């Protein structure tokens, strides 16, 4: 690790290694699972920090970040990622923002007595 990398705050997005992203999006294999674990580890804290900067408490930010990763993995969103479409971190932040908006919508529906909805 270079001196510059070690000086970066932990909430910064690391450089995206597209080989890891593409490998993680492949069909289940040991290599895909390892790549996916590396991505989750590398991006969990930066995404958590993003949620915290939006004004959520520590517990809310942890829940939202974990929920996002769960949904992200369940829906296999990495299948739709392509280097030509732009930066991976932009894709993640956009996806997280949509997830947070959907979670807020669900919470407001429940407050009004509705049953909520699932997308």
Domain boundaries, the chain: 16-108
The helix-helix angle for 88-111 and 58-74 (nearest 10°) equals 110
pTM for the model stands at: 0.73
CATH code that applies to domain 16-108: 1.10.1740
Percent of the chain at pLDDT > 90 equals 34
Kindly tell me if the per-residue pLDDT of 7 is higher than 50. no
Q: What's the Rg (C-alpha) of the chain?
A: 16
For 78-119, the pLDDT digits (tens) are 888 888 888 888 899 999 999 999 998 888 876 666 555 554
Torsion, Cα 22 27 32 35, to 10 degrees, reads: 40
The CA-based angle 119-21-70, given to 5 degrees, is: 30
């Amino acid at each position: 690790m270079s001196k510059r990398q070690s000086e970066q705050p932990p909430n910064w997005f690391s450089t995206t290694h597209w080989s890891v992203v593409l490998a993680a999006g492949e069909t289940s294999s040991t290599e895909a699972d390892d790549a996916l674990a590396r991505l989750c580890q590398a991006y969990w804290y930066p995404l958590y920090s993003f949620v915290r900067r939006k004004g959520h408490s520590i517990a809310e930010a942890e829940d939202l970040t974990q929920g996002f990763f769960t949904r992200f993995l369940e829906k296999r969103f990495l299948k739709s990622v392509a280097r030509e479409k732009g930066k991976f971190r932009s894709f993640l932040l956009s996806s997280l923002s949509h997830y947070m908006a959907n979670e807020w919508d669900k919470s407001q529906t429940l407050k009004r007595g509705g049953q909520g909805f699932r997308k």
